[in-house]
Homo-oligomer: A and B are copies of this chain.
Amino acid sequence: MKIAVINGPNLNMLGDREQDIYGNKSLEDIAGELKETFGTHEIIFHQTNDEAKLISILHDLNTTVDGVVLNPGGLTHRSVALADAVKAVSYPVVEVHMSHVLARENYRKRSLVSGACRGTISGFGLNSYALGVESLMLLLNR
A positions within 8 Å CB-CB of B: 8-10, 12-13, 16-18, 48-53, 55-56, 59, 62, 73-85, 87-88, 100, 102-103, 107-112, 114-124, 127-128, 130-131, 134-135, 138-139
Contacts and interface: CB of A to CB of B under 8 A. Distances in A.
A88 B131 contact: no
Contacts of A139: 124, 127
10 contacts: A10-B88, A13-B59, A17-B87, A18-B88, A80-B108, A107-B112, A119-B124, A120-B123, A124-B135, A127-B139
Contacts of A82: 74
Q: From DSSP, what is the main secondary structure of chain A's interface residues?
A: helix
Q: How many copies are assembled?
A: 12
A48 to B, nearest CB: 7
Which of A17, A74, A79, A85 has most chain B Cβ within 10 Å?
Answer: A74
B135 A118 contact: no
A30 to B, nearest CB: 13
